[in-house]
Chain A
Amino acid sequence: MPKLPIYMDNHATTPVDPRVLEAMLPYFSGKFGNAASRNHSFGWEAEEAVDRARGQIAQLINAKSKEIIITSGATESDNLAIKGVVEFYKDKGDHIVTCVTEHKAVLDSCRALERAGKATVTYLPVDKYGMVDPDDVRKAITDRTVLVAIMYANNEVGTIHPIAAIGRIARERGVVFHCDAVQAAGKIPVDVDRDNIDLLAISAHKIYGPKGVGALYVRSRGPRVRLTPQMDGGGHERGMRSGTLNVTGIVGLGKACEIAAAGMAEENRRLLDLRDKLQAGIFERLDEVYLNGHPRERLPGNLNISFAYVEGESLLMGLNDIAVSSGSACTSATLEPSYVIRALGVGDELAHSSIRFGIGRFNTEDEVDFVTDRVTREVRRLREMSPLYEMAREGVDLKSVQWKAE
């Protein structure tokens, strides 16, 4: 029996790896210098630590140290990339191409620019697996397009977009390509040169680093990408992001990147085994369960399933010793279910029934077995309580019913 509660929500956040914490600790009080202090050893010590971390971050994505701009996290990185590009290239155009399943940090940055009259935005659809068609990107680009923003892998359904193909198209058309790689960097091989990426957002806390620190890769050559800063001040980070550097956080992000890069292939095999075991176990024991996301082109730790006739939040409540997440409306103040699951065209009722399992570095096979049993038991219990399951078993076509909704 594994120790409870079990954390299996590693797309939301991850615990700090003990090796990361150990690397960070000296920089809280002993080596506390300001990395911008150029005239004493405290500052040099901090600057060295930041430089080392920048190298570790750059190496994870095959970039150069100086191309790494430290931020407070991926939300800031996305904001800086999108708003910074649109403002800087305003004489060239004002059109953005993105997609409907992007993270809110991207979508709402785009919407803010639309509202301000600074940009027009094309939101590309995705196929039933949540994937963008590179041809759609090609067709959407106009002479006014200054930015293509497509995420590397989706945070809900784990689908990995054809990033290299999209990057090639953007490069051919001379359009800056921003990629939110929060779920991908450190999990699957990401290479800004191979993938033709110009800007790329990463976050420390998704890869066993601390919260409150992230980075934006900004291509320096072939082509050099320019941004208008969104934070003014002392001109840190080559003028692109002012503010005293979060040295402890940066050291943590660097170490997290180094660990992720070193063990990636082996860890991916392990995660895939666990994920496939969880998926097979649930699909063998339960009828009418549906996979959300791409069957193959998917993050190794991701499993998003709709359990027909069972509402997601009620299932989460039953799984009170397991931390997973739901795409159901009821988990938020709005009554709309997950916009990502809906974009797959699965229907709102199945969107309400979706659960996301995020398997990570510290999950074990025992935990997967426990989760399989608990999920199976709880889905069966809730289906016995579900009028929809009863009607479906009586042969009622639920789509033909006239529902008396509010």
Chain B
Amino acid sequence: MAYSDKVIDHYNNPRNVGSFDKGDADVGTGIVGAPECGDVMKLQLRINPESRVIEDARFKTFGCGSAIASSSYVTELVKGKHIEEAMTIKNTVIVQELNLPPVKIHCSVLAEDAIKAAIGDWKKQHEDARPSAEPRKAQEG
């Protein structure tokens, strides 16, 4: 299977690889996938508690080249976005940007899930801390 130039570029020069301190109150961490399925993505977002804007992002991914490229691209995509806007990102955007073939669409779905999981984690920490917050929705997963 031939990879698109963009997948190869992200694979060779992944953006924002690494980890933030999980103890940092402004950091939301999402880990999605499973080792036995061949894909695990960890996405961390640093979110400004006042503006609720994603200021920085880091990822680590165990998975094929398309999974690595999807998560690398997502770290670029979410930076500077308000969390509610980031929550609306659909996997199809990732499929288009990276020219993913049908067998790799699950990589983009996983990346979308990672955004939601990371924001969900951040919200859980922040909204649990506010007694007046609206009733919590059930967490994904």
Whole-angstrom CA separation of A110 from B31 in the bound complex: 42
- For window 357-406 of A, CB contacts with B under 8 Å fall at 384-390, 398, 403-406
Whole-angstrom CA separation of A189 from B3 in the bound complex: 41
- For window 12-41 of B, CB contacts with A under 8 Å fall at 14, 17, 19, 31-41
Interface size class of A (residues with CB under 8 A): 20 to 34
Binding site secondary structure of chain B: mixed
Chain B hits for A406, CB < 8 A? 33, 37, 106, 109-110, 113
Which residue from A310, A317, A388 sits with its C-beta under 8 Å from B11?
A317
Q: A328-B64, A385-B14, A406-B109 are in contact. Are A349 and B36 (CB under 8 A)?
A: yes
- For window 246-267 of A, CB contacts with B under 8 Å fall at none
Distance (Å) between the CB of B21 and the closest chain A CB? 12
Is B140 an interface residue, CB under 8 A from the partner? Answer: yes
Interface size class of B (residues with CB under 8 A): 35 or more
Q: Are A385 and B103 in contact (CB under 8 A)?
A: no
Identify which of A36-44, A201-209, A329-337 touches chain B.
A329-337
Which residue from A313, A331, A335, A388 sits with its C-beta under 8 Å from B35?
A388
Per-position 1/0 for A207-224, Cβ under 8 A of B = 000000000000000000
Chain A hits for B42, CB < 8 A? 387, 390
Nearest residue, chain B, Cβ from A329: B38
Distance (Å) between the CB of A290 and the closest chain B CB? 14
- For window 316-369 of A, CB contacts with B under 8 Å fall at 317-318, 328-331, 333, 335, 337, 347-349, 352
Chain A hits for B8, CB < 8 A? 317
Whole-angstrom CA separation of A65 from B32 in the bound complex: 60
Distance (Å) between the CB of A286 and the closest chain B CB? 16
Chain A hits for B68, CB < 8 A? 314, 385
Whole-angstrom CA separation of A385 from B85 in the bound complex: 27
Q: Are B62 and A404 in contact (CB under 8 A)?
A: no
Q: A317-B3, A352-B36, A404-B141 are in contact. List 7 more A-B contacts (CB 8 A).
A: A317-B8, A337-B38, A348-B35, A387-B31, A403-B31, A404-B31, A404-B117
